[in-house]
Amino acid sequence: MILDNQNKNLKVHEWITQYTEEGELLMVNKWIGNAGSRRNDNLTKDNLLDGFEILEFVLNNLFAKDKERITKKAVRINRRKKP
């Protein structure tokens, strides 16, 4: 979707939730990015690998194969609002 001038100032959170079907999954990478930008959030290698796995899943449209497992992981991270 091409954003018009009216929507160019949306925050990442708003854009993900309003303009993507996979918002729940993509929100994971927002939380991981937020944690990675702060020294005290104890971001781990496993957190990064989770983010990469979920992003790869979205990009490859593998919903039929791993949808339930990946969605559960995304929901868990989003509920905590951090990795």
The DSSP letter of residue 9 is: T
pLDDT tens digit string along 5-52?
Answer: 566 677 878 877 776 678 888 889 889 988 888 877 788 999 999 999
Structural domains counted in the chain? 1
Residue 32 lies in a domain: yes
The predicted model scores a pTM of 0.59
- Residue 66 belongs to some domain of the structure: yes
Residues 6+ positions from 25 with CB-CB distance below 8 Å = 54, 57, 58, 70, 71, 74
User: Is 2 inside any structural domain?
Assistant: no
Examine residue 23 and state whether it is found in any structural domain, yes or no: yes
**61 is in which domain, residue-wise?**
11-80
Tokens representing residue 19 in the block: 């303009």
pLDDT tens-place string over residues 39-83: 777 889 999 999 999 988 888 764 566 778 888 999 999 999 988
Burial of 50: CB neighbours in 10 Å, binned 0-12, 13-18, 19+: buried
Domain-embedded: residue 3: no
Cα–Cα distance, 80 to 83 (Å, whole number): 7
Look up residue 62 and give its two tokens. 């593998």
In a domain, 6, yes or no: no
- Does the residue 5 lie in any domain? no
